[in-house]
Structure 1
Amino acid sequence: MDGKILDPDGARDHLASWKGRIDRMAQDTEAMSQRLRELRVTASDPNGLSQVSVDSTGALVDLRLTDRIAQVPPDEVARAIMTTLGQARNTLADRSQQIIADTVGTESPAARAIASSVDTHLRRDLAPAPKSPRGGASATSNDDGYDVSSDLWR
C-alpha cells in the first residue's frame, strides 16, 4: 500500500485482490505438496548390479539385484547399491526443485525455504567413503565396527 486511505469500494477491491492472491498461493502450495508426495525415482548402477527406487522422502522402497552380483565382491555390491541410492536421491532432489519452481515459484522467501529444506534433506555426496587400514571398515567407524556415518546414526 502507498499510505493512502482507501474509500470503502477501494478497500473492498484491495481485500478481494489480496484474498485472490492468498487463494492462488494456497492452491499452488497444495498442488506442489501433492506432486511431491507422488514423486518416486528409480536408478540403476552403471555396472548392472543393482536398481533402487526411492519415495518422495528419499527412503529406499525397492531394491533389485541382478545375477551379476555373484561375480563381484560383496563390498563392491554394497558400494554400487549405496552410490546408486545417492544418485536416486540426487535425482529426486532435482525433480523436487523443479516441482517447487513450477508450482510456487522461486521468488518468495517461503518457496526458497522449502527448496532449501528439500535439497538439504535429499541431496547426497556421491564420493566413495574412504577405507580404513583395518580391513575395509569405514574411516568413520567407531571401535565396535559400526559405521557411525550411516543414516541410522544421524
Structure 2
Amino acid sequence: MWADDAALDAADRRLDEWETSLAEQASRATTLSTRLRAITGTATSPDGAVEVTVDSNGLLADLRLDERIRQQSATRTARQITDTTRVAHADLLKRLTGTTVEILGAGDPTGQAIIDSYRRRLDPTEDEPHARR
C-alpha cells in the first residue's frame, strides 16, 4: 500500500510541475507578444536626408524627408527611401531577435521559429541566393 501512496505523491508532484511549467510558458508568451508588438526599426540614409521607421510588422510607420531632397531627382529619393527601409527592417529584425532571445532563451525552438518567420518576412531575398544585396 505504501508504494501506491508514494507513486500517487510522485504523480501529483509531476502534475504540479507540469502545471507550473505551462503557466510560466504562457506568461513568457504573453510578455513576448506584448514586447514584440511595441518594437520598431529605424534607419537614416547615409546623407541624413531620409529617415524611416517601420512598425513591428515591418510596415512604414514614419517617413521623414529633409529639405535637401528637393535638390535631387525623384528617382534618387525613391532609391534612398527603399534602401533606408531595408536598413530599418534589419534594425527591426535585430531588435526582435534580441527581445525573443532575452525572453525565451537562445536555444528555444519556438523562439527560433519566431525569429525565422520575421527574417523571411523582413528579408525576402534571404531565400534568393542570387538576389542583389
Segments of 5+ residues of structure 1 without an aligned counterpart are 1-5, 129-154
Structure 2 length as normaliser, TM-score? Answer: 0.84
What's the secondary structure of 1:7's corresponding residue?
Answer: helix
Q: Distance in 2 between matches of 1:59 and 1:97?
A: 17
The answer (yes or no) to whether the contact 1:49–1:68 under 8 Å persists in 2 is: yes
Aligned to 2:123: 123
Aligned to 1:113: 113
Shift of 1:19: 1.1
The answer (yes or no) to whether the contact 1:93–1:123 under 8 Å persists in 2 is: no
Aligned to 1:48: 48
Q: Distance in 2 between matches of 1:37 and 1:23?
A: 21
Q: How does 1:1-154 map to 2 (within 5 A)?
A: 7-123=7-123, 127=132
**Root mean square deviation, CA, Å:** 1.8
| 1:34/1:121 CA distance change after superposition, 3 Å | same
Q: Which has the higher contact order (CA 8 A, sep 6+)?
A: 2
| 1:83/1:124 CA distance change after superposition, 3 Å | farther
Spell out, residue by residue over 1:69-104, the C-alpha distance to the aligned partner (whole angstroms, 9 max, x if none): 111121111111100000001110111011110111
Q: Distance in 1 between matches of 2:86 and 2:108?
A: 29
Aligned to 1:131: none
